[in-house]
């Protein structure tokens, strides 16, 4: 059993280009990162299983892939309570958590960043439904429009930017706001009709959307952004404001700092429907009600200090 850092690599990330990118830069990565070992994943969930098995025998586990691969490695460490630190080498479509962590996009520079950056206690989100099914997330959990876009993109056979853009264009036109019961922190759940609800552990999701500009993945809280029904013109205005991190100026968009939220589907003639969600890029269905809570400092990730809104920028 080796104690060297282990790179857990997803060959399907980046539209299937990550293997070629790795071998093109592997010598430079080794020069900057030092000796390490490499394990290619073979199927969804494999990165999590590797992290569970290796979390106490390595000093550092590095997720090479996109947000989904990073999420799997974080989940594996959290479930096993492994002591390894975690690093990120981005090669996916969005790389949202890596970007807000200050990790450069190019592999050689990202490897240098990992070799020089200390690990910081990092929160995770935790989801549990009425059936007792649970899961950690690293970056974001969404219901509503974002989940429907993710489902359509997955059905389209890809996770690339073009697929997501096409799925988003179709869903924005056809999607109807969903009725939910939402209880924030200790407040009782009440009926809400929402276009989208996203709970974030970092500032951005969806391949660069700065939905929660003040979020800090090490502050022991999560950020909930609730978007009410918006007509076409109001939606265009909200998107315009998003690019300038000024979307909270619209009354239909709410921002809350939370440690816990309960979300339930409203019963219809067929009973309580499932909740369709997007969790770090994966489409996941839940039974009736979910509770989302923060797991403070669940993993230690090599990342830059959080920016101060309005002053610093993503690396």
Digit-coded pLDDT (tens) for 213-239: 889 999 999 999 999 887 767 777 776
Q: pLDDT value at position 313? A: 36
The parent domain of residue 287 ranges over: 125-297
Residues 214 and 251 placed together within one structural domain of the fold: yes
* Residue ending a domain, choose from 117, 150, 184: 117
Q: pLDDT value at position 207? A: 79
What confidence tens digit (pLDDT) does each residue in 69-106 have? 999 999 999 999 989 999 999 998 889 999 999 999 99
Does residue 313 belong to any structural domain of this protein?
Answer: no
pLDDT higher at 233 or 32: 32
Reply yes or no on whether the pLDDT at 310 is more than 50.
no
The share of the chain scoring above pLDDT 70, in percent, equals 86
Rounded Cα–Cα distance for residues 235 and 171 (Å)? 13
* Residue ending a domain, choose from 65, 89, 117: 117
Residues 80 and 136 placed together within one structural domain of the fold: no
Does residue 39 belong to any structural domain of this protein?
Answer: yes
Residues 151 and 260 placed together within one structural domain of the fold: yes
Residues 110 and 132 placed together within one structural domain of the fold: no
Residues 89 and 159 placed together within one structural domain of the fold: no
The total of structural domains in the chain comes to 2
| Residues 289 and 129 sit within 8 Å (Cβ to Cβ) | yes
Residues 142 and 280 placed together within one structural domain of the fold: yes
Residues 139 and 39 placed together within one structural domain of the fold: no
Rounded Cα–Cα distance for residues 222 and 259 (Å)? 6
For residue 151, name the pLDDT band (cuts at 50, 70, 90).
confident
Burial 153-165 (b: 16+ CB within 10 A, else e): bbeeebbbeebbe
Reply yes or no on whether the pLDDT at 309 is more than 90.
no
Does residue 268 belong to any structural domain of this protein?
Answer: yes
Residues 143 and 289 placed together within one structural domain of the fold: yes
Q: pLDDT value at position 22? A: 95
Q: pLDDT value at position 165? A: 57
For residue 162, name the pLDDT band (cuts at 50, 70, 90).
low
């Amino acid at each position: 059993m080796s104690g060297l850092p282990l790179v857990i690599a997803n060959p399907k990330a980046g539209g299937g280009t990550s293997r070629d990118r790795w071998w093109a830069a592997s010598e430079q990565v080794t020069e900057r990162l030092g000796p390490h070992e490499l394990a290619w994943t073979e199927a969804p969930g494999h990165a999590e299983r590797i992290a569970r098995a290796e979390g106490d025998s390595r000093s550092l586990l590095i997720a090479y892939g996109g947000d989904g691969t990073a999420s799997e490695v974080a989940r594996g460490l959290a479930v096993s309570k492994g002591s390894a630190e975690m690093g990120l080498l981005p090669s996916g479509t969005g790389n949202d958590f890596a970007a807000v962590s200050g990790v450069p996009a190019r592999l050689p520079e990202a490897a240098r960043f990992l070799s020089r950056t200390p690990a910081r206690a990092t929160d995770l989100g935790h989801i549990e439904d009425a059936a007792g099914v649970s899961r950690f997330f690293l970056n974001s959990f969404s219901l509503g429009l974002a989940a429907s876009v993710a489902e359509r993109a997955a059905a389209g056979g890809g996770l690339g930017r073009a697929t997501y853009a096409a799925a988003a264009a179709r869903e924005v036109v056809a999607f109807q706001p969903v009725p939910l019961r939402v209880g924030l922190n200790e407040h009782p759940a009440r009926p809400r009709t929402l276009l989208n609800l996203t709970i974030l552990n970092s500032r951005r999701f969806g391949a660069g959307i700065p939905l929660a500009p003040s979020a800090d993945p090490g502050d022991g809280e999560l950020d909930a952004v609730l978007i009410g029904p918006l007509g076409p013109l109001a939606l265009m205005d909200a998107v315009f404001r998003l690019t300038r991190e000024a979307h909270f100026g619209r009354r239909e968009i709410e921002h809350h700092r939370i440690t816990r939220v309960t979300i339930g589907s409203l019963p219809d003639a067929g009973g309580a429907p499932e909740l369709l969600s997007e969790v770090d890029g994966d489409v996941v269905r839940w039974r009736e009600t979910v509770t989302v809570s923060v797991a403070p400092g669940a993993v230690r990730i090599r990342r830059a200090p959080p920016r101060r809104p309005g002053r610093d920028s993503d690396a």
